[in-house]
Structure 1
Amino acid sequence: MEKFTTLTGVAAPMPLVNIDTDMIIPKQFLKTIQRSGLGRNLFDEMRFDDDGNEIPDFVLNQPAYRNAQILVAGDNFGCGSSREHAPWALADFGIRVVISTSFADIFYNNCFKNGMLPIVLPQDQVDLLMEDASKGANARISVDLEAQTVTSSDGQEFHFQIDPFKKHCLLNGLDDIGLTLEKVSSIDSFESQASQARPWV
C-alpha cells in the first residue's frame, strides 16, 4: 500500500449529505474483485446520463476538478452498505483524502485499509474548506498527516484527530497484509518450533 505523509492538491466540493456507497459505486459494478478500473465508474449515476455522456454540472466532470485528489463532502459520507468497492473506486480515480463532519464507520475503516485518509472536522471548518474548494483548481488544500493538519489555500490551518495506530499504518503504507508481514520472522519461528514439536501435524 502506498504511504501517506503529506498531500497538496485540488479539492472538489461535494456538499451533499448522506452520500452512500451505492452513489459512490453503483451495485452493477460490484462484480469485480479487482481494485483497479473502478475509478471510471465512480459516482456513475451522477457523472453520466443514460447514454453514457458526461453530465457537465457534476463537479468531477468540470475541468477544474478532473484531477482532484481531495473531496470536501457533506455529513455522513460513505453511509449505506459496507462495500469495500467504494474506497477502491475513490482511490482508483485518484482521491487520497475525504474531509467531512462524519463518516459511516465501515467506510471510514475501509479507507485506511486502502491508503486513503478520511478526516473529520467540525461543521464550521468543513464549511470554510468547502468554500475554499469552490474557488477551483487554483485553490489547493494541503494535508499533513504527521502534524495532523489541513491548511486551506489562504493559509488557515485546522487540526484533526486520528487514531495513532491508523496513523502509523498510513504513514508506513501498511494494510492488513503489510502488518502481517511485519511479523514474518516470528511466524516463521513459530512454524519451525511447531513442526519440530508436532512433526505429525
Structure 2
Amino acid sequence: MSGWTTITGRAVALPQANIDTDQLIAARFMSAPRSEGYGRFLLHDAQQDQADHVLNRYKRADVLVTRRNFGSGSSREAAVYALVDFGIKAVFAPSFGDIFASNAVNNGLLPARLTEDEVETLIDQMGQKDAPATVDLNTGTAVIGGQQLSFDLDPAWQQKLVNGWDDIDLTAQHSDQITKFRTARFAAHPWALPAP
C-alpha cells in the first residue's frame, strides 16, 4: 500500500450512528476475491433500501463524515477494504470501533476523531451535498466545506499512514537494533540457544 500525507478531494456526510462492520460490508460479499475490489459492496444493503442514500448520489468520495461508533461490531477487515476500494481515505467521526480503527490505519485509511458538536455542524452544513475537503496528516488539520478542523493522531499511526506501513513494517524499521540485541543476548546467555 502506498502512503499519503495530504488529501484534496470531496467529502460526503453519512448522518447515522452505530454503523457496524456488518453494515459496511455484508458477509455474503466476502467470498468475492479482493482483487476484484470491495468498493461496490460498501453499505450495499443500505443503498438498496434508501434511494436517496449518499452513496447512490455520489459514486466517489475521498472523505466521509459520520456519527459516533463507526466501525463497531465484528473485526472484519473487509469493512476497511470496502471503504478504501470505494476511494475513501479518511473517515471523521466522534468515535470508532477499536479493531476497526487499527485495521483502518494498517490499510491506509485515517480514522479521525472530532467532537460530536464538530460532526453535527459539518453534517448540518453539508446536508445532502458533497463538499471540498483537504486533510493534512503532518499538521493534523482538515478543511471540510470551509470549516477548519484539527484532530489528534497517534505518532505511530501517522508514521504508518504516511509511509504506507502496517505493524510488520513498523517493527522492521528497528531491525538493526533487534539484531544487535539478539547478538548481545546470545553472547551473554549462550545456554538460551537451542542445542544444534
User: C-alpha separation between the residues in 2 aligned to 1:25 and 1:87?
Assistant: 9
Aligned length: 192
Residue 148 in structure 1 maps to residue 140 in structure 2: yes
TM-score (norm 2): 0.84
The residue number in structure 2 matching 1:87 is 80
- Give how far 1:69 is off: 1.0
Equivalents in 2 of 1:77, 1:26: separation in Å? 15
Distance 1:145 1:3, change over 3 A: same
Distance 1:35 1:180 in 2: 27
C-alpha separation in 2, matches of 1:7 and 1:140: 10
The 8 Å contact of residues 78 and 107 in structure 1, kept in 2 or not, is answered as yes
Counterpart of 1:140, as a letter, is: P
Q: Which of the residues 105, 108, 117 maps onto 1:124? A: 117
Which residue in the other structure is 1:133 paired with?
Answer: 126
The 3 A distance-change label for structure 1 pair 199 and 80 is closer
| Alignment RMSD | 2.7
SS where residue 96 of structure 2 aligns? coil
Aligned-pair identity in percent equals 41
Match of 2:187 in 1: none
Matches for 1:1-201 after TM superposition, within 5 Å:
1-31=1-31, 34=34, 37-48=37-48, 56-62=51-57, 65-134=58-127, 136-137=129-130, 139-154=131-146, 156-183=147-174
Whole-angstrom distance in 1 between the partners of 2:54 and 2:24: 14
Do 2:11 and 2:144's aligned partners in 1 also have CA atoms closer than 8 Å? no
Range 178-187 or range 100-109, more displaced:
178-187
Counterpart of 1:52 in structure 2 is none
The answer (yes or no) to whether the contact 1:42–1:89 under 8 Å persists in 2 is yes
Distance 1:60 1:96 in 2: 15
Q: Which runs of 5+ in 2 are unaligned?
A: 185-192
- 1:19–1:77 Cα contact (<8 Å) kept: yes
CA drift of 1:59 comes to 0.6
The change in CA–CA distance for 1:75 and 1:125 in structure 2 (over 3 A counts) is same
| Structure 1 residue 34: Cα displacement | 2.9
Change (3 A) 1:20 1:35: farther
Deviations 1:37-96 (A, max 9, x none): 1111111111236xxxxx53111111xx22111111111000111111110111011111
SS where residue 34 of structure 2 aligns?
A: coil
